[in-house]
């Protein structure tokens, strides 16, 4: 009588966990044909697991990124006064830079670059943080945003990524 390998638990992983970005991964178990998204909640410091209801890894990855964004946006549900939102400070930064550019204190086009990077349709930070209370934004959320930018456009040059990273830092001067 030969002894065979024990049958794996139905909840055991089927393959490896695929890390998409910091705080986001997908995986499969023997219990389901579908991929699962594992999302790290920076506020509660817990993982949120949701089924993608997809059997294709590529489709599951896209859906996982959408879930990641929707869950992080949902964490900012308490409505902040407009004067305390990220979007408000972004507008103020653009106004201040435009005024300083007109007076010759800054390069005249810096405000246009800032406005471009803040509101970019594919990876602009206002896509994710426009209505978020600026007092609640953490470094972890900011780093998750930068990871998200890298996944959205892998062709960005280091200088462009540096400008994207430095734009919110200039809020301190507003």
Show the domains of the chain with their CATH numbers: 18-74 (no CATH), 82-173 (1.10.150)
pLDDT at residue 91 in the model:
92
pLDDT at residue 1 in the model:
46
Angle among Cα 122, 126, 129 to the nearest 5 degrees reads 120
Each residue's pLDDT tens digit in the chain (174 positions)? 456 667 778 778 888 999 999 899 999 999 999 999 999 887 777 899 999 999 999 999 999 998 888 877 766 445 778 898 889 999 999 999 899 888 888 888 888 888 988 888 888 888 888 888 888 888 888 888 888 888 888 888 888 888 788 877 666 555
pLDDT at residue 76 in the model:
47
pLDDT at residue 3 in the model:
62
pLDDT at residue 173 in the model:
58
pLDDT at residue 151 in the model:
84
Contacts 24+ apart (CB under 8 A), 135-141: 135/80, 135/84, 136/76, 136/80, 137/86, 138/42, 138/43, 140/23, 140/42, 141/42, 141/72
Q: How far apart are CA 3 and CA 6, in angstroms?
A: 9
Produce one character per residue of 10-21: b if its CB has 16 or more CB atoms within 10 Å, e if not: eeeeeeeebebb
The sign one gets for the Cα dihedral 139, 151, 12, 30 is positive
pTM given for the model: 0.53
pLDDT at residue 131 in the model:
85
């Amino acid at each position: 009588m030969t002894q065979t390998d024990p049958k794996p638990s139905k909840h055991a992983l089927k393959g490896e966990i695929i890390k998409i970005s910091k705080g986001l991964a997908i995986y499969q178990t023997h219990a389901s044909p579908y991929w699962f998204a594992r999302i790290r909640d920076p506020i509660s410091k817990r993982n949120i697991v949701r089924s993608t209801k997809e059997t294709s890894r590529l489709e599951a990855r896209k859906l996982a990124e959408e879930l990641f964004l929707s869950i992080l946006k949902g964490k900012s549900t308490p409505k902040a006064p407009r004067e305390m939102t990220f979007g408000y400070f972004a507008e103020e930064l653009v106004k201040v830079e435009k005024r300083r550019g007109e007076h010759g204190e800054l390069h005249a086009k810096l405000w246009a670059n800032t406005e471009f990077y803040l509101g970019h349709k594919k990876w602009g930070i206002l896509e994710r943080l426009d209505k978020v209370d600026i007092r609640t934004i953490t470094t972890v959320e900011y780093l998750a945003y930068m990871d998200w930018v890298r996944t959205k456009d892998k062709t960005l040059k280091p200088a462009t990524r540096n400008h994207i990273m430095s734009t919110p830092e200039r809020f301190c001067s507003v």
